[in-house]
Amino acid sequence: MTTFTAPAKTASPAVGNQENGSIELRRVRKTYGGLAAVDDLDLTVEPGEFVTLLGPSGSGKTTTMMMVAGFEELTSGTVLINGEPVDKLPPKDRNLGVVFQSYALFPHLSARENVEFPLRMRKVRPAERRQRAEESLERVGLAGLGDRSPRQLSGGQQQRVALARALVFHPSALLLDEPMAALDKRLREQMQEEIKSIQRSLGISVLFVTHDQDEAMSMSDRIVVMREGKVVQQGAPEDVYAHPATDWVANFLGDTNLLPCTIVERSGGTAVVDLGPLGTCRVRDRGAEGERYAVSIRPEHLAFLPAARAQNSATGRVVSSTNLGATIRHRLRIGEQELLMRELSPSSRTAAELGTEVCVGWGEDKAQLLVLGS
């Protein structure tokens, strides 16, 4: 298994400026034929922060990154790098490293020559270009492969060359547009860890684009969830996952149980709700107002109980149990409501056979009140 090498400190002068690395978008808008692909977007990436734009196809995440990089023109708004507006600057003058999904390597150049290319554009002397390219290839685990052409490299190795090229000139920030989409699962997970390790070792700011929820959860300091050109929620991965702001976010970020409910009482950040056949339940409450409500409970936050409690529990029957290796997925029927449950070990499997009556419960802090249709 190839792994990255921590960057060696050399006496070579830096190319570019990585002292700050902040990215800021102020009321950025992009329209195509009158339709808004990105709509009045405000976003900041702090120096050294790893921020992921996460959303389905058509949510505006790639368009946003392309506007930051300078490959798409803004309809309105401002993009700032290190506090300076760059709207009128071409991509080559923004000092941003970019890795595309296709890698965009020059097929007629060797790996080392591909990495040298941005230094050549910056008029760096040949001897220094070669030294920096070799250092950058070593950093991404490709020492000794600089003479190979892209067609002689695997997909994962090509991605490493693209990453080395994006880092070789010491950019202010790194932009990554779904760079691991073409890799198999095992290599993708390996590259996720390595990219995150390189980012931490360099302290470089990253704006990352993906539609893969697991990828966003594992790599990000902050996730920005986008839908139809707008930000619908942002925050630390664990907070966005555990406390979705809307039912759409809850469904998009993994599996969840959305249980229609009626509010009985609201007070001090919690609410008591009536779940019909599941009884009453006390849940987290963000105070959102609407006409229809539901409680969101993640499958892994359900647990088998020896007996039902007064609140936050229910009794039903097992519809199915599927062993997924590391976890077991249960489907439970409670009245007309179906619950999805996931446990991390098979310890309860004998008590959860098909048709078995079981009690399940959940913590008050693991269930959240949401407005349906938000």
Complete DSSP assignment for 144-212: T-TTS-GGGS-HHHHHHHHHHHHHTT--SEEEEESTTTTS-HHHHHHHHHHHHHHHHHHT-EEEEEES-
CA nearest 302: which of 255, 342, 345, 253?
A: 342
Q: What is the DSSP string of 260-311?
A: EEEEEEEETTEEEEE-GGG-EEEEEE-----S-EEEEE-GGG-EEESS--SS
* pTM, entire model: 0.87
Cβ neighbour number for residue 172 with a 10 Å cutoff: 21
What pLDDT sits at residue 308?
A: 80
Task: Give the pLDDT confidence score for residue 351 in this predicted structure.
Answer: 54
Chain centroid to Cα 293, Å, comes to: 27
pLDDT at 73: 95
- By residue count, the chain amounts to 374
Q: What are the structural domain ranges in the chain?
A: 23-242, 250-371
CA 105 to chain centre: 25
State the pairing for strand pair 173-177/96-99. Answer: parallel
Predicted local confidence at residue 5, as pLDDT = 47
How far apart are the C-alpha atoms of 22 and 204, rounded to whole Å?
A: 10
Helix (H, G, I), strand (E, B) or coil at 10: coil
Q: Please give the chain's pLDDT, 374 residues, in tens.
A: 444 444 443 333 333 444 578 999 999 999 998 899 999 999 999 999 999 999 999 999 999 999 999 999 999 999 999 999 999 999 999 999 999 888 889 999 999 999 999 999 999 999 999 999 999 999 999 999 999 999 999 888 998 999 999 999 999 999 999 988 878 888 888 889 989 999 999 999 999 999 999 999 999 999 999 999 999 999 999 999 989 999 999 999 989 999 999 999 998 889 999 998 888 899 999 888 888 999 999 999 999 998 888 788 999 999 998 888 888 899 999 988 899 999 886 655 545 778 889 999 998 889 999 998 87
As given in the structure block, the two tokens for residue 170 are 């010491």
Fold of the domain spanning 23-242: Rossmann fold (3.40.50)
The answer to whether residues 50 and 221 touch, using CB atoms and an 8 Å cutoff, is yes
Decide if domain 250-371 falls under CATH 2.60.40.10.
Answer: no
CA distance 362 to 303: 6
